[in-house]
């Protein structure tokens, strides 16, 4: 794995920094007017690590001529429809009332269009609903009960998304909320899983056309109605067909404060590589993190990952902390690659 210090030490040649803010670091190449795309030798699909199966599906479809957005939505549908994946779609971990509420957004580079859906209930594939909003309306986002109604009118079949596995996890969480309440604790030896959910996927084809999609069940046990970064265009994902695409997973509130996916693409527009762009974006995240979320060592308690691909086919994944990987598929096949990172895992402060 490559840390920020190692990366900048080996790859940087200038210290001018970018004009997007005062929290820039030395060692990053000065911006250029625009990103000059060279001819692509192959398509590339990048995603969060839970998208390993999906990047292969998306890549094969793109090679066969499928549109990039259709291909990556087919890729994330694998996780959305997998009841064993508790981070998205069917079987996603519910809100504090035990209700599964889903968010998603997508962007299509060639047509400069986008679609998004928030707080969607009973529909397992919010990524497809987001695309339907993009394809069939002049709006970008629909939310809540009206988003559900729209999906049903478009032919989506409603179903109960709360699997028994996720229901049992919710009951464990609920029983341990207050030691003085009247709920009996059970399965005390079972660790309750807390998830921020989410799968992001981005792709570029041989013609340089880009698309991006992010889909999630959001934070486990969230306040009903909470919407994270995933359906927010420019936060959960962003795509510009002249530059690149980017998206994120992790604590959505931290990403919304920086419009991280948009910022990452803008850094690539100014000449930074995907690796440099995700690192610079994460530095902005740290600079805007609330003090209550920071440890005594000046490091955030939370984690966040970004994934990016440029129009010329370069790609990267980045994490605030050492450890996570990301999925990628090109002509070398699908694999999980290590993320570049800002901080060592040992630097992450413990909460409580």
Nearest by Cα to 74 from 60, 58, 95, 52: 58
Question: What is the mean predicted confidence (pLDDT) over 131-140?
Answer: 98
Which CATH class name applies to 4-347?
Answer: alpha beta
pLDDT the model gives residue 165: 94
Strands annotated E in the chain? 44-48, 102-108, 113-120, 141-143, 199-204, 210-216, 237-240, 244-250, 304-310, 315-321, 325-330, 333-338, 340-343
User: pLDDT digit string (tens) for 246-287?
Assistant: 999 999 999 999 999 999 999 999 999 999 999 999 999 999
Q: State the DSSP H helix or E strand holding residue 289, giving kind and residue range, or none if neither.
A: none
Percent of the chain residues past pLDDT 70, beyond the cut: 82
Question: What is the mean predicted confidence (pLDDT) over 41-60?
Answer: 94
Catalytic residues: 198
Would you say residue 124 has pLDDT above 90?
yes
Q: How far apart are CA 159 and CA 173, in angstroms?
A: 24
What Rg do the C-alpha atoms of the chain give, in angstroms?
20
Question: What is the mean predicted confidence (pLDDT) over 3-30?
Answer: 41
User: pLDDT digit string (tens) for 154-204?
Assistant: 999 999 999 999 999 999 998 887 665 555 455 544 444 545 569 999 999
pLDDT the model gives residue 351: 73
Exposed/middle/buried for residue 159 (C-beta within 10 Å: 0-12, 13-18, 19+): exposed
Is beta strand 304-310 parallel, antiparallel or unpaired with respect to 102-108?
A: unpaired
pLDDT the model gives residue 17: 39
Q: Provide CB contacts within 8 A for 250, sequence distance 6+.
A: 196, 198, 302, 303, 304, 305, 320
Domain range list for the chain: 4-347
For residue 237, the Cα-to-chain-centroid distance in whole angstroms is 7
Q: Which two tokens stand for residue 293?
A: 């979320």
User: pLDDT digit string (tens) for 289-327?
Assistant: 999 999 999 999 999 999 999 999 999 999 999 999 999
Lowest mean pLDDT among 82-86, 131-135, 143-147, 259-263: 82-86
Lowest mean pLDDT among 51-55, 78-82, 180-184: 180-184
Would you say residue 9 has pLDDT above 90?
no
Q: How far apart are CA 88 and CA 84, in angstroms?
A: 10
Determine contact, residues 47/329, Cβ cutoff 8 Å: no
User: pLDDT digit string (tens) for 55-72?
Assistant: 999 999 999 999 999 999
User: Three-class SS of residue 164?
Assistant: helix
């Amino acid at each position: 794995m490559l840390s920020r210090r190692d990366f900048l030490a080996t790859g940087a040649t200038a210290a001018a920094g970018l004009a997007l803010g005062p929290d820039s670091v030395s060692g990053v190449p000065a911006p250029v007017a625009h990103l000059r795309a060279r001819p692509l030798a192959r398509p590339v699909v990048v995603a969060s690590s839970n998208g390993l199966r999906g990047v292969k599906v998306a890549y094969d479809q793109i090679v066969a001529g499928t549109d990039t957005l259709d291909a990556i939505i087919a890729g994330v549908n694998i996780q959305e429809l997998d009841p064993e994946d508790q981070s998205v779609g069917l079987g996603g971990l519910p809100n504090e009332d035990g209700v599964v509420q889903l968010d998603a957004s997508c962007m299509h580079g060639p047509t400069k269009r986008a679609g998004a859906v928030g707080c969607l209930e009973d529909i397992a594939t919010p990524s497809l609903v987001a695309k339907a909003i993009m394809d069939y309306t002049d709006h970008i986002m629909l939310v809540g009960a009206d988003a559900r109604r729209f999906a049903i009118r478009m032919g989506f079949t409603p179903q109960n998304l709360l699997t028994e596995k996720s229901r049992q996890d919710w009951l464990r969480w609920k029983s341990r909320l207050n030691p003085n309440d009247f709920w009996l604790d059970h399965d005390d030896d079972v660790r309750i899983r807390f998830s921020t959910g989410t799968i992001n996927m981005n792709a570029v084809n041989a013609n340089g056309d880009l698309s991006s999609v992010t889909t999630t069940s959001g934070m486990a046990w969230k306040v009903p109605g909470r919407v994270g970064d995933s359906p927010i265009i420019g936060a959960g994902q962003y795509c510009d067909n002249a530059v690149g695409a980017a998206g994120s997973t992790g604590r959505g509130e931290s990403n919304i404060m920086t419009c991280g996916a948009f910022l990452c693409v803008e850094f690539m527009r100014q000449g930074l590589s995907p690796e440099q762009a995700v690192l610079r974006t994460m530095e902005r995240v740290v600079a805007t993190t609330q003090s209550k979320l920071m440890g005594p060592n000046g490091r955030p308690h939370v984690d966040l990952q970004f994934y990016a691909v440029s129009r010329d086919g370069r790609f990267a994944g980045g994490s605030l902390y050492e450890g996570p990987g990301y999925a990628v598929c090109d002509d070398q096949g699908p694999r999980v690659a290590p993320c570049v990172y800002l901080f060592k895992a040992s630097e992450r402060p413990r909460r409580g």
